[in-house]
Chains A and B, each alone.
Chain A
Amino acid sequence: MIKNYIRKLLPLVIACFMSAAALAQSGTVTGIVVDGKGESIPGATVRVEGSSQAVSTDMDGKFTLSNVKSGEVNIVVSSIGMATTTKRLTVVDGKTTSFNFKLADGRINLDEAVVVGYGSTRKKDLTGTVTSIGEKEFNKGIITTPDQLVTGKVAGVKITSNGGAPGSGSRIRIRGGSSLSASNDPLIVIDGVPVDNNGISGSPNPLSLINPADIENITLLKDASAAAIYGARAANGVLIVTTKKGSSDKLKVEYNGSFSYNDIVKFVDVMDGDQFGKAVRDSGTANQIALLGNANTNWQDEIFQNSFTFNNNVSVSGGIKKLPYRLTLGVLNEDGILRRSELDRYSASLNLGPKFLNDKLSVDVNVKYSQTKSFFANQGAIGAAIAFDPTQTVKADSAKYLPYGGYFEWLDAQNKPITVATRNPVSLLEQRQDESTVNRMIGNINLAYDLPFVKGLKANLNLGTDISNGVGNIFVDTTAASDYFNKGLVTEYDQEKSNQLLDFYLVYAKDLAKIKSKLELTGGYSYQFWETSAPSFPNLNVLGDTVVKVGLPFFTQNALIGFYTRLNYSFKEKYLFTFNLRNDYSSRFSPDVRAGYFPSAAFAWRLSDEKFMSKFKNLSDFKVRLGYGSVGQQDINNDYAYIANYSQGTPTAQYQFGNVFYNVLRPDEYDPNLKWEVTTTYNAGIDYGFYQGRINGSIDLYQKSSTDLIAFVPTPAGTNFSNAILTNIGEVQNKGLEISLNVVPIAKKDVELTIGANLTYNKNEVIALSQTKSDTDLVNVGGIAGGVGSTIQAFAPGYSAFTFLAYNQLYDGNGKPLEGKYEDINGDGTINEKDLVLNGNPEPNIFVGLNANLRYKRWNIGFVMRGEFGSEMYNNVSALRSNFTSVGGSVKALNNLSTDYINQPFKTEQILSNYWIQDATFIRMDNINVAYQFKPLNNGKIGLGLSFTVQNAFVITKYDGIDPEIAGGIDNNLYPRPRIYTLGVNLKI
């Protein structure tokens, strides 16, 4: 339906607006912008209020705004570190009006527009908890995905990168996770298009498809009153990305280039050949000793490399006649530190912003396209390199290894690969090709129209689409021991995803001067439709025989329809009220329970505008905010969980009667009454500013409760088609405190120092998990390597989600762990599952960010640090490899030991001991940046800047494993994060 609709509507809309464009009457505004000392300010933004017309001042502080609508206009001038100034001017048709602006020093721009859902508002008028980060505050260095731009910069937002693989994404958590089985990812909205954050086959991370160089601003809506207008998808907050736009200015060309060196910081501590040889000779059997080789191979050295990344972006912007445009082209080439891993991204984005009908109609067209070509190195090599016997060589001469490409492999008496043995890590890398190409296009056209009949009434139509396609193929040679018995592997995949959006809303703004009130009413309708499809391909071997037959293709759809309304009311510009109501319908629930109603309300009081506060001379801003709101959650990984459905078995899951195999049909478990999970947030906060904003920040207290929690939990045996179903049960709560503080201790012409700090305390707790609310509720999660079916975490009432569940290790008088001795918690004289103890949280209860920037003349030096406190990590690598049993030898193969074994020689595995749950508190220097901006060249027409950045400079931690920061709290075969040195060039013409 939506496609038809777009097809019908677009020509009509475009035709009617084009025809009227010529009627506009306009003039020009020129001038110079200077600071308090009369020095010109380059790069200040000059815009016409109420329109998207804006230009930047040149190197001499000069600006020209052409095509300004004739009549009275407000010209707004802003620059970082300066107080924003507004001047009302009269523009005469066909004439040029000159006005010079003098900006006062000031830190915080309360008139700055902040993007909120379906509109924008002045910062001073915000009632919800919203943090907006502009381009100048973004993190520096090589940034390959947009979330990295704001890591560590926002209180309440924890961004954890998924490791060092090229383009690998991050886990973003805003105020903790509010769900157990549903998604905990925030909604990401790019230029008004909520995008799919669920990934596509062949792409390491969906956000990696967006070029960060295009981004102007990232705004986070943290509390429910701010996010509620997004209703159904806002339970975990909203991240709004605004990209750079064109301007009706002269042609500008900007080039950003960088070159990065990715340096391996640390390997997992495993034994070298000599240490391992000694350990086996000391404790091993004759059979084990016989398997030792003579080499001393550092397998991690063999699979990792230091690598390079190149990133080039060119943008062209300006206005052709009355058409502002911006075009960016980007090329990113990143080689991973795991040999052979590689990512090449080609991106193009185009923005057009024409206006028609006396500027009453603004059109904003965005098209973002990217193509990502990846080579996925076999990450299995990471675990294999940790485990492989260091006394063996990479390749071996003996003829028996010839069928395996000459690589040393563990072979049985018949010279066949031993199926349960670790494979040669280098062979895993070299003998597997896994390549993909992903294309993604996000496009939207937004029409904003001042309706002619009613003053103050605007209509806004946004049509958007997000289409991606990932194709890939995998080839494993016949000589690869990993696929020896299948005689190699040849397979491919192909996935299509699409997301269509139609958003229409009306805004009515009314200034009721008589009663000192302002009113803004928004009402709208939103339609979104998602589809994912993937054909099924067989697994063939290199000879062309079918190993795994073609299964059923994959196809799933879901739709969301929402109606929303928002009322903003302000009295004397000091008492601010916001009310939202959103009514959502999700196809994931049955018609009876499909409708969800999500209200919110917020109140803010600008105390600093009260007369009685004027005696506090240095107080420049003080606002109290109170908010309440509920939002829905339906992002479950199953589009049809409420429908009684029979699924068909694959060709390898048939059953035989007589001589015939039958394709089976299985009724799938379902909950016909599955309905919205509801997250309710209470928020109380203050915004403060002293000394013209040279000290500013905010403090927020929140409580966020998810009720009717959608969780995959056990259902009474015999009442459904499986033992656990997705159903509404239980409750999860997050409580927390966020503090942010920005200080400008020095602000002189040549020297300026800015410091930003934020601190978050968050406590997550599972309140209930079943209808009976028993204290025996427990859902095991957190699968670990080394034991099939073994888990190390649980959901349990009274504990935070993913609390560790392990045996309490007993120690001797010297503090050494006693092998196999655990605390008998229930005192029944035996140690079994009933003695497992819930203790330790993989999430920090406190996390902080600290950044500082010092500008001295043309130099800039800055850093960003992050710290997480109170988190713990299960060291799966040591748990697995610090005991002699893990060496193996019952088949003819050996596995390496962790160096921990030297200090703590366990005989057998202790994988469920809390000995391995270790303090993961850390402080990380994320980013150190030095930049130099040359004097403008060529009469101030060319700007040139150079920068040098070190990312992931160092980590301070007590944690023994490779990295204390791993989302989920289980350290197992992480793709290590390199230290990155980047040299960057910025050229503006």
Chain B
Amino acid sequence: MKKNFLTHGTIVLIAILMLSTTSCMKDLDLSPKYGLNTESVYNDPANYKRVLAKIYGGFSLTGNQGPAGNPDISGIDEGFSNYIRVLWNLQEVTTDEAVCGWLNDAGIRELNTMNWSSQHPWVRGMYYRIYFEITLCNEFIRQCDDAKLADRGFSETDKTAIKGFKNEARYLRALSYYHLMDLFGTGPFITEADGIGAFFPQQKDRPFLFSYVESELLAVEPLLPAPKQNEYARVDQAAVWSLLSRMYLNAQTYINTSKFNECVNYSNKVINAGYALDADYKHLFLADNHLSNEVIFPIVSDGLFTQSYGVTTFLIHAAIGGSMPASQFGVNGGWSGLRSTRKLYDAFGADTLTDGRYLFYTAGQFLDFSANNQLGTFTRGYAVTKWKNITRSGAAGSDNTGNFVDTDFPMFRLAEMYLNYAEATLRGGNGDQATAIQYINRLRDRAFGAGIGNVASIDLPFILNERARELYWEGHRRTDLIRYGLFTGGAYVWPFKGGDYAGGAVSNHLNVYPIPVSDLTANPNLTQNPGY
């Protein structure tokens, strides 16, 4: 009897095991509890704006955890990897406007001395940050496809809003391709037609990228809201025109064909779009610069909600050192990194006391370098006080700890359009010389006080200096110097250009950055830029 019971028991036991085996196989189908898969994200119309926020946020944030901890890209320190921070470093530290003293930090010395290679971490960081942005846009544009929206059964209101988002994503993708074209000249090309997965994108050259960016911008122009009609920090038609203005101004560099008429045309569109210069130049770079009526497209930072070690948090902390009182900048301390060179000081000539744009800190600082190892010494080179985390009324930003700042970064602002108009006109565009001078004097009225610093005539060298005075430390300098043929070669040198504190010549191949060796390895379709 007992034996029978046992036998049965054993059989039951084995049967249970067999059954459990089959049902257990289902336990292998696991998915993240706090994440969302592609379908569940895009089935809720409210999520589209959250993905769009990530795409815009891609310029300000470095990952999904503020300030750091869950980075978007790898192979570069997360704090370094911020879009604007790498862009700023490649556009400014490489030029006469800025030096950075953190010589132990990966790649900093090579930026100062213009000695980067295809393994340079900042070059890699910029390249991959650009492609991160492009890939996000491609995915979002795919998901905003009309057929998909129809399938998901959204209301007309939702569909209209989502189609608007899609146009903005197309703009932002064009902006990133513009940066690629400007910095690298060439690169792999992918659109929403390419999916995610194992394939090797084809490389496209600069003229192709130029016309692609141009055609995308022209295509979305009528679809985007009129100037100032979109929410704060989202793009509108003026952002399209601003980018076209900048791109056409540099068309000679990009496609060996001048487009100065077009530059004049699109600069004019922005100038007439209802923006106005801020009364006080300094207000443009403060914690409450969102109040400005001059900024066309800002990249937002927020001390409490949008934290990273990039953008303005970097620009403000890194520029403080020596005897500079951090509290007057609305932050808790300096990182003793960024200073300027004499060339930027010299751009102000005799006007250092009268030009309101001369925002320098000189106490305890030396204007000049006298040895190569002074690159790492903060007190060598005048410090720049342009960027601050205090409001117009003098209050510190929202983060009480003084770590993260509220100051937004202007990707485009009206003053640049005045300068673009003037330069394109001088270079043969169909603008009006008198109007150009008038525009320049608007900038100088603000800088010096009405009528005090006005000029009666302008020429190209003056414009380059005026751009330095007006736009320094805003990420323009490398492109400007290249347009003037002064970035490489030996015609114009500044401290640490080529390695020595006295400055020296460098090779012309440095006018574009190299394709990172990591992508050359990963993608056999790519060819390196000449000289690298």
Contacts and interface: CB of A to CB of B under 8 A. Distances in A.
Interface of A: 1-2, 5, 8-9, 12-13, 16, 19-20, 23, 357, 412-414, 416-420, 449, 451-453, 459, 461, 485-486, 502, 504, 525, 527, 529, 545, 547, 551-553, 555-559, 561, 585-587, 591, 594, 639-640, 643-659, 661-668, 670, 672-673, 712-724, 770-772, 774, 776-780, 786-791, 830-834, 836, 880, 885, 890-891, 907-909, 911
Contact of B306 (A639, A654, A670, A722): A654
Contacts of A789: 76-77, 80, 105-107, 121
Contact of A665 (B36, B103, B307): B36
B491 interface: no
Given A16-B6, A722-B74, A832-B120, A655 B37 contact: no
16 contacts: A9-B13, A453-B7, A525-B21, A647-B64, A648-B64, A652-B65, A653-B306, A653-B307, A654-B306, A666-B54, A667-B51, A718-B201, A721-B136, A833-B117, A833-B120, A908-B376
A719 B306 contact: no
Contacts of B258: none
A23 B5 CA distance: 15
Chain B facing A: main interface SS:
loop
B379 A890 contact: yes
Contact of B521 (A2, A553, A653, A776): A776
A593 B187 CA distance: 33
A730 B374 CA distance: 44
B499 interface: yes
A685 B335 CA distance: 59
B312 interface: no
Given A647-B64, A723-B75, A788-B80, A504 B197 contact: no
B134 interface: yes
B9 A485 contact: no
Interface stretch (B146-154, B216-224, B322-330, B430-438): B322-330
A25 B243 CA distance: 95
A416 B332 contact: yes
A557 B327 CA distance: 47
Given A559-B28, A779-B518, 19 more contacts: A1-B27, A23-B2, A587-B29, A591-B28, A640-B32, A646-B37, A652-B306, A655-B56, A655-B60, A664-B50, A667-B139, A714-B521, A718-B194, A719-B190, A770-B522, A780-B75, A832-B115, A908-B103, A909-B103
Given A662-B53, A890-B377, A587 B28 contact: yes
B38 A721 contact: no
B305 interface: yes
Nearest to B64: A649
Interface range for B = 35 or more
B53 A504 contact: no
A789 B326 CA distance: 25
A672 B197 contact: yes
Contact of B7 (A13, A418, A452, A525): A452
A612 to B, nearest CB: 48
B120 A777 contact: no
Contacts of A724: 73-75
B333 A557 contact: no
A866 B530 CA distance: 53
Contact of A561 (B25, B36, B41, B50): B25
B456 interface: no
A719 B198 contact: yes
Contact of B16 (A5, A585, A670): A5
A23 B117 CA distance: 83
Contact of B38 (A594, A646, A779): A646
B188 A717 contact: yes
Interface string B28-46: 1111111111100100000
B336 A665 contact: no
Nearest to B195: A719
A228 to B, nearest CB: 21
Contacts of B115: 830-832
A780 B334 CA distance: 29
Interface in B293-350: 300, 302, 304-308, 321-323, 325-327, 332-336
B106 A658 contact: no
Interface string B14-28: 101100110111011
A720 B522 CA distance: 12
A777 B134 contact: no
A180 B23 CA distance: 34
B458 interface: no
- A648, A653, A716, A786: residue with the most chain B Cβ atoms closer than 10 Å: A653
Given A646-B41, A666-B64, A789-B106, A830 B499 contact: yes
A296 to B, nearest CB: 28
Contacts of B104: 786-788, 790, 880, 909, 911
B201 A1 contact: no
Which 5 A-B pairs give the minimum distances between C-beta atoms? A652-B66, A419-B333, A787-B104, A789-B77, A655-B57
A16 B20 contact: no
Contact of B73 (A452, A556, A639, A723): A723
A717 B128 contact: yes
A3 B505 CA distance: 73
B232 to A, nearest CB: 5
Given A12-B13, A485-B332, A653 B65 contact: yes
Contacts of B121: 789
A832 B5 contact: no
Contacts of B102: 787-788
A667 B77 CA distance: 21
Contacts of B27: 1, 527, 529, 559, 561, 587
Contacts of A770: 521-522
Contact of B196 (A587, A658, A721, A778): A721
A657 B233 CA distance: 6
- A8, A649, A723: residue with the most chain B Cβ atoms closer than 10 Å: A723
A9 B77 contact: no
A656 B305 contact: yes
Nearest to B378: A890
A909 B109 CA distance: 11
Nearest to A504: B17
Contact of B200 (A449, A653, A716, A790): A716
Contact of B54 (A416, A453, A486, A655): A655
A657 B12 CA distance: 63
A586 B28 CA distance: 7
Contact of A788 (B79, B116, B138): B79
B60 to A, nearest CB: 7
B31 A665 contact: no
Given A1-B24, A656-B305, A908-B373, A650 B34 contact: no
Contacts of B60: 655
Contact of A778 (B119, B197, B201): B119
A788 B106 contact: yes
A771 to B, nearest CB: 8
B199 A716 contact: yes
A9 B20 CA distance: 11
B38 A413 contact: no
A720 B196 contact: yes
Nearest to A552: B34
A655 B523 contact: no
Nearest to A892: B323
Nearest to A729: B522
B403 interface: yes
A649 B402 contact: no
Given A561-B25, A721-B132, A788-B80, A657 B201 contact: no
A658 B231 contact: yes
A667 B58 CA distance: 12
A830 to B, nearest CB: 6
- B37, B138, B199: residue with the most chain A Cβ atoms closer than 10 Å: B37
A652 B333 contact: no
A525 B60 CA distance: 51
B401 interface: yes
B70 interface: yes
